[in-house]
Structure 1
């Protein structure tokens, strides 16, 4: 985005250096190969719900280039984005490759040069002006301005630390949770909405409500990933151990669930517990798992349900407590919490405050969002601002020469 924007603003000899054989691999794998480009317009005052870190500082960049601007930008460059019911936006073609082709086409049209297998390993300030870049597959290269967008790769953090920047140590974010719950994980593949998650780690408490996916290791899904994002540092400090309380009642609450079970005891007296589940939204396989956890025979009639077992079922449905035993394995599209401290960057231009002429954006910064297109939006906004600022700075420099 930064390279295209700078080139479209008239900057000559814009070059992208990519350390891998193929650029935009993170775009390719994102969203399960669909690429969640951004999220439908949101109120800037609600950024704290979308960005665990960096929400307040991002108000400035988003006032210049937010989701609506990104949608318009891609549309102007030949890519139509389609909004899904939950606000996520995907390319009309419903595949990541369409986003890659759009960006590559725009880069070629604006004259951006792309060099792959060119890994920058050293970045130093030139004694006279600009920077010198050196690395694997790269002859020493002089550049008047440099934009770093290395994502969560450690190479970028090493480069900026060498230039005096403060880096907040990165920790994993947006991950699934591994649980000690064999009866629950036996229901792998079940997704259910409106599940309440309550995580307490020391004096800190984290809550989320939404869709969860039961996996063979524990829990994933949007609500779990959001929880892990906001609790990323606390979970890291606890070595991914703790207690998670789950409310499966879809907001009914303990009193309503108690009444529902008592009503079922009367209205469904002759039916078995397995055949007549009291909460319609619960998949039958999950309800049967709860019966197993409560130590109740599935073929027992509702009329014969012991009071102790009824109380145990209420507890499981409204406040099930499970032990976290670790985090799930990362896919290639995980996000890190941490990076260059935002105080080191002028977020109006994305220029480093410590090293003039150096611009930083994306996951390299201490900014991260929840799932739903928010991380990509931060990248588009930062890249666009940097491209504009680089163009203006170079133009002013040429005018004073």
Structure 2
């Protein structure tokens, strides 16, 4: 049997960040990371399209929590201890410089997730942390003053046990067997499958829009991207995160309303169209988009309003004007299913947050058991926020157990 002071289950971002911070705070501790796969940090490798979206340039903890559909209340305290600014400083101290993109997302200057992976591997080597792969956990049980972990390879014993196993159903089940409550997981970040003639020939077209799920209070605004299978982009992804539970209950069959003008309503839109009719009477309606979105989308919405391609502005009837303004501000679409957003599969669900002490990240149910990262019922919208949750939890955990 191998004995350690601290065993960390899971060789992902949260597991490594925990291990390194514990070892740096107390080099005397004997630490091991157990990973069930052949490789470690696989999710880090593919994150942000292979560039690794490390964090987000939102430096106010009270603003930062607003990006978490689940975990907003619980993360407020932790973010006052360790937030985005601290993440930047930590990586700089470990030789990795980060840069801010226009939308606030932060990446390594190298634009490669390999930089983050090498930083972690180098630090674990320097701190003499054992990284053991192909160690699939079979059982966990409590000894007198320690925890025992059996894997497919060997037996381990430790004083303190950290679960950083992400959205692994097997680990949730195991923890349930030890007395924890698990909030049923459902997908969070996903795109909407929509078959509709208005968008059929528009893949790649993007517009700033606001979207709401019909019959609910869920709405979001931002860039909306039309794809081969339907709709994606920040406006849709935000909606999928905030509405994760409701949309799962609806079995991903629901209606949405899209306002292509983002903030204007149908009345304002109609007034704008009337002004154009007066100022450009001889021009064909379809010829050029008068709004800040691509011509191809404008053509499609004009056609959907029953306006022939040769019709001039001067010849538009009141009914056609109203129909077009409704199409611009209240386009109704039926969603029929979802698709995973890239390879970055995020779930809503996990360890019930009421059973965790967020000052230490220790379980309130099991003594000397700690949690880090996505194993908890915390998730965020896209943009580096899920990683920030991992860094923050891991730092607080490390400080409390070292």
Same fold (TM over 0.5): yes
Q: Does 1:153 align with 2:168?
A: yes
Aligned counterpart for 1:227 among listed residues 223, 239, 244: 239
1:328-378: CA deviation from partner (whole Å, max 9, x where unpaired): 245431211110011111111111111111111111001111111111000
Give the structure 2 partner of residue 258 of structure 1: 270
Aligned counterpart for 1:67 among listed residues 56, 81, 84: 84
Give the structure 1 partner of residue 339 of structure 2: 328
- Runs of 4+ in structure 1 off by over 6 angstroms are none
Unmatched segments (≥5 aa) in structure 2: 1-16
Give the conservation status (yes or no) of the 8 Å contact 2:202–2:297.
yes
How far apart are the structure 2 equivalents of 1:70 and 1:232? 28
Give the structure 1 partner of residue 314 of structure 2: 303
Q: Does 1:103 align with 2:115?
A: no
How far apart are the structure 1 equivalents of 2:231 and 2:263? 19
Structure 1 position 217, deviation (Å): 1.6
Give the structure 2 partner of residue 369 of structure 1: 380
Q: Does 1:272 align with 2:284?
A: yes
What's the TM-score, normalizing by structure 2? 0.92
Unmatched segments (≥5 aa) in structure 1: 392-401
Q: Does 1:34 align with 2:55?
A: no
Aligned counterpart for 1:199 among listed residues 210, 213, 218: 213
How far apart are the structure 1 equivalents of 2:135 and 2:24? 24
Q: For the structure 1 residues 185 and 149, does the alpha-carbon distance in structure 2 shift closer, same or farther, using more than 3 Å as the test?
A: farther
How far apart are the structure 1 equivalents of 2:116 and 2:76? 26
What is the correspondence of 1:137-148 to structure 2 with a 5 Å cutoff?
Answer: 138-148=153-163
How far apart are the structure 2 equivalents of 1:81 and 1:329? 28
Aligned counterpart for 2:295 among listed residues 271, 276, 284: 284
Give the conservation status (yes or no) of the 8 Å contact 2:58–2:64.
no
Structure 1 position 225, deviation (Å): 0.6
1:258-289: CA deviation from partner (whole Å, max 9, x where unpaired): 1221122222222212213221x110111111
Q: Does 1:355 align with 2:355?
A: no
Give the structure 1 partner of residue 148 of structure 2: 132
How far apart are the structure 2 equivalents of 1:375 and 1:166? 22
Q: Does 1:86 align with 2:103?
A: yes
- Which deviates further from its counterpart, 223-232 or 38-47? 38-47
Give the structure 2 partner of residue 117 of structure 1: 134
Q: Does 1:388 align with 2:399?
A: yes
Q: For the structure 1 residues 260 and 6, does the alpha-carbon distance in structure 2 shift closer, same or farther, using more than 3 Å as the test?
A: same
1:217-267: CA deviation from partner (whole Å, max 9, x where unpaired): 211111111111110000111111222111111323323321221122222
CA RMSD of aligned residues (A): 1.5
How far apart are the structure 2 equivalents of 1:63 and 1:380? 13
How far apart are the structure 2 equivalents of 1:170 and 1:198? 23
Structure 1 position 47, deviation (Å): 4.4
Give the conservation status (yes or no) of the 8 Å contact 1:183–1:289.
yes
What's the TM-score, normalizing by structure 1? 0.92
How far apart are the structure 2 equivalents of 1:276 and 1:190? 16
Question: Residue 286 of structure 2 aligns to a residue in which SS?
Answer: coil
Give the conservation status (yes or no) of the 8 Å contact 2:302–2:324.
yes
Question: Residue 74 of structure 2 aligns to a residue in which SS?
Answer: coil
Give the structure 2 partner of residue 398 of structure 1: none
Structure 1 position 216, deviation (Å): 1.4
Q: Does 1:181 align with 2:196?
A: yes
Q: For the structure 1 residues 329 and 86, does the alpha-carbon distance in structure 2 shift closer, same or farther, using more than 3 Å as the test?
A: closer
Give the conservation status (yes or no) of the 8 Å contact 2:98–2:109.
yes
Give the conservation status (yes or no) of the 8 Å contact 2:33–2:130.
yes
How far apart are the structure 1 equivalents of 2:82 and 2:66? 19
Give the conservation status (yes or no) of the 8 Å contact 1:268–1:276.
no
